[in-house]
Amino acid sequence: MFDIFLLSHGNLAKGLHDALIMIMGEQRNIKHATFTEDYSLESYELFISEKLNYENHNRKVLFLCDLYGGTPHNVAAKFKLRNTERFEVISGVNLPVLMTAITKRHLDLKAASIEIIKESKEAIQLLQINDNKKI
């Protein structure tokens, strides 16, 4: 089992974590860290590093980030570059991605990451309404 660490601009990570608890109940080993204007890149990285070292020690971690190339993603990428076996980084997190990640925690981290991306692509749907039917 791997840990999940939600990273985002603003309160998105906290909101996703709260929504997950509402739908699936409390889950173990899930953390979140919001990036706000109060942080510099270095202070945000230090904050995450402290949480990882204190709470997760050497456990494998899946970072779920809001935006590819944004500060939360870039910080997660630094951790991945330092230890490619311990960390994976997925960007574009939303609630279906997070829920899928929960259901894949029994898999190896790399295999789970691939499955999460594959399954999450199917979660984006356009509602099609036939004018002759009532909802």
Which pLDDT belongs to residue 28?
Answer: 92
Which pLDDT belongs to residue 74?
Answer: 97
Which pLDDT belongs to residue 16?
Answer: 98
Architecture of domain 3-121: 3-Layer(aba) Sandwich (3.40)
Instruction: For the chain, list residues with pLDDT below 70.
Output: 54-57, 131-135
Which pLDDT belongs to residue 134?
Answer: 58
Which pLDDT belongs to residue 127?
Answer: 87
Q: What is the DSSP track for the chain?
A: --EEEEEEETTHHHHHHHHHHHHH---TTEEEEEE-TT--HHHHHHHHHHHIIIIITT--EEEEESSTTSHHHHHHHHHHHH-TTTEEEEES--HHHHHHHHHTTTS-HHHHHHHHHHHHHTT-------TTS--
Domain ranges of the chain: 3-121
Which pLDDT belongs to residue 54?
Answer: 59
d(CA 59, CA 61): 6
